[in-house]
Structure 1
Amino acid sequence: MTMTLDQLRCFVAVARSGHFTRAADGLGIAQPSLSRQVAALERDVGARLFDRTPGAVTLSAAGETLLPVAVRMLEDRDAAYRRIEELTGLARGRLRIGATPSLCTSLIPDVIERYHDAHPGVDLHITEAGSGTLTESLAQGELDLALVIAERAVRNPALDLIPLLSEELVVVSSADRPALTRRRAVTLSEVAGHALVLCHDGYDLRVALDRAFQDAGLQPHIVVEGAELDAVLRFVARGIGVTVAPVTATLHYPGLRATRLTSPGLTRTIGLARRGGIDPSHAAVAFHSVLRECVVESAEGTTGLTLRIPDGAFGRTGRRSGRPHDRP
């Protein structure tokens, strides 16, 4: 059976008007064309759909059976067109975004607020996890986009990675305890001797810091560990200890001071991961635009941030050469 929507449209028009010529006029086609469509549909279903008498056309038993099905199919087609138009116009839709916990306390809230204000009809789902978990979820189709730490992203040739920002890791202390904040810079060795509040094992930031201490042959003095970054920063603000955190994470917490870390200085690269070789959805393209605006504004107004977005990185196509295993 090869019935088409055009055949069904002609059939429904005749059924509703009770006349071939009036149905053709209503559809804006020639009456012979409409008759051919109905005849082809009758051949496809193997039954006569209309009883034709002089001056009248009525539905046969087969026609009465087909009519509600045909109407529903045409309505479904129209609904599909409407929904696609809504998606392309961003009146509705869904976007699944992943981000690391440290980015959820810094960059992501500004991006989400701006995106939601511009496109309130798009449902947003946020997954908060480490960079490795996020890139694996992205590769499996469970996410549309992921904001990750490039150095911690899982190597996967199916994914593209757009570098966004390089940011310094800084020593964070309470503004009420100025022993560190009066200085312009602090060495990693000096940090190791202070009471430290650190995130849990496996946290991207903790892994980088543990490696730095190990490479320098230092044994840090940890007094509290195991929390997420949000709690760590609140503990630091209370004067429990100091920590090392991305510079962007310190911007949204009152009562904190950031001091540059040296000998060695530590940095990380924030990147946007997405599946390669496919065009992103309209909702994702709009997110790209908002994200770029926020990243550029952050880099222009904050010491310790360096913009890394390559030219043309946010084009419509999803294919580009950079991958999570390519160090930006």
Structure 2
Amino acid sequence: MTLQQLAYFVALADVRSFTGAADSLRVAQPTLSRQVKALEDELGAPLVQRTRGAVTLTSAGEAVLPLARRMLADMESVRVAVAELVGLQRGRVRVGATPSLCIGVLADVLRVFHERFPAIRLELAENGSHLLARSLLRNEIDIAVLTVPAGGLDAGLELTPLLRERLSVASPASGNAPTSRGAMTVKELARRPLVVPRRGYDLREVTLQAYADAGVTPRFAVEGGEMDAVLRLVEAGTGVAVVPDLVFAGRPRLRRTALNPPLYRTVALARRADLTQSQAVQAFCDTLMEFLGELSAAGGFVGDVQVLGQPSG
């Protein structure tokens, strides 16, 4: 059994296609097929069922897959550890974050970290929280700054709460205020055209659940798009949107109106519980917490944002 065979099997399990897995690994399909067959021969059981147009995992394949992912992740950890011993000249931190957090604070954190550790390569992945959690479990990213859904995330992840953040209504600053009281209810919000992000955003689900809890139906102006597109649509006067308070910083064309009763979300730092994080990843966590602490102390947050925790080493 070789690590290369395990890598081929994991790629095949992810793509469920010999052609697609071979393309993703940039190897010939016969090579991939031979290596997977050799792994099956070594283990004494078929790992995949080969049917026309589809590949499915056998019960043995289902059992082997998480172990193979762990072995490949450990191999990567060894490489990172050796790179750090020679001075972090080849270090890497793969960060995942939701689009609203990229807009709100992470861009500044990435800048500060790069200035301090220019030899460490930074890779950024934007996605919804559930997809980021999946990427962590597949070892596609090292850490993720995400929102914690009401139902929680996978038990294989370790979460460190970072922020408690209020959700507010964004409207164009050039127009009339949505209310003269400085706050509004969801029922009042339902009278206005609403802009919501694409499916897969936790923020979309929270917003629609708030409407359902209030017994009202949203009047959609535009559905879909990333967070930056939602904010631009609001600035243009297309409608209003429920967004986290962090995104109002540096957006003078947006007016913030609080919701009453309030809606909050928890922002956390997530990582795999079964992996020891590298010094480079720990340095990034420290930079992130330092930045959040300094921003809070300087009163730099817009709206209702509270710093919660400190990642452990």
TM-score (ref. length: structure 1): 0.66
Q: Distance in 1 between matches of 2:107 and 2:95?
A: 12
Letter in 1 for 2:305: L
Question: Is structure 2 residue 280 aligned with structure 1 residue 283?
Answer: yes
SS of aligned partner of 2:174 = coil
SS of aligned partner of 2:224 = strand
Show the 5 A alignment for 1:1-328. 83-86=83-86, 89-151=87-149, 155-180=153-178, 182-262=180-260, 264-300=261-297, 301=299, 302=301, 303-309=303-309, 313-316=310-313
How far off is 1:81 after superposition? 10
When the two structures are aligned, how many residues end up with a matched partner? 231
Distance 1:153 1:137, change over 3 A: farther
SS of aligned partner of 1:266 = strand
Letter in 2 for 1:135: A
How far off is 1:293 after superposition? 1.6
- Superposition RMSD in Å: 2.1
Letter in 2 for 1:158: G
Distance 1:84 1:285, change over 3 A: closer
How far off is 1:82 after superposition? 8.4
Distance 1:279 1:82, change over 3 A: closer
Q: Distance in 2 between matches of 1:296 and 1:123?
A: 24
Tell me the percent identity: 40
Task: From the CA coordinates, give the structure whose radius of gyration is larger.
Answer: 1
How far off is 1:186 after superposition? 1.2
How far off is 1:201 after superposition? 2.3
Contact 1:175 1:181 in 2 (8 A): no
How far off is 1:277 after superposition? 4.1
Q: Distance in 2 between matches of 1:149 and 1:100?
A: 8
Q: Distance in 2 between matches of 1:153 and 1:103?
A: 20
SS of aligned partner of 1:121 = coil
Deviations 1:269-303 (A, max 9, x none): 00000111433101111101111022223434223
Q: Distance in 1 between matches of 2:200 and 2:89?
A: 39
SS of aligned partner of 1:125 = strand
Q: Distance in 1 between matches of 2:81 and 2:270?
A: 30
Q: Distance in 1 between matches of 2:97 and 2:143?
A: 9
Q: Distance in 1 between matches of 2:137 and 2:100?
A: 22
How far off is 1:83 after superposition? 4.2
Contact 2:292 2:307 in 1 (8 A): yes
Distance 1:118 1:84, change over 3 A: closer
Q: Distance in 1 between matches of 2:243 and 2:296?
A: 17
How far off is 1:92 after superposition? 3.6
Contact 2:84 2:279 in 1 (8 A): no
SS of aligned partner of 1:160 = strand
TM-score (ref. length: structure 2): 0.69
Distance 1:222 1:297, change over 3 A: farther
Q: Which ranges of structure 2 fall in alignment gaps of 5 or more residues?
A: 1-79
Q: Distance in 2 between matches of 1:83 and 1:130?
A: 31
Q: Distance in 2 between matches of 1:97 and 1:267?
A: 24
Contact 1:196 1:220 in 2 (8 A): yes
Distance 1:297 1:192, change over 3 A: farther
SS of aligned partner of 1:177 = coil
Contact 2:183 2:257 in 1 (8 A): yes
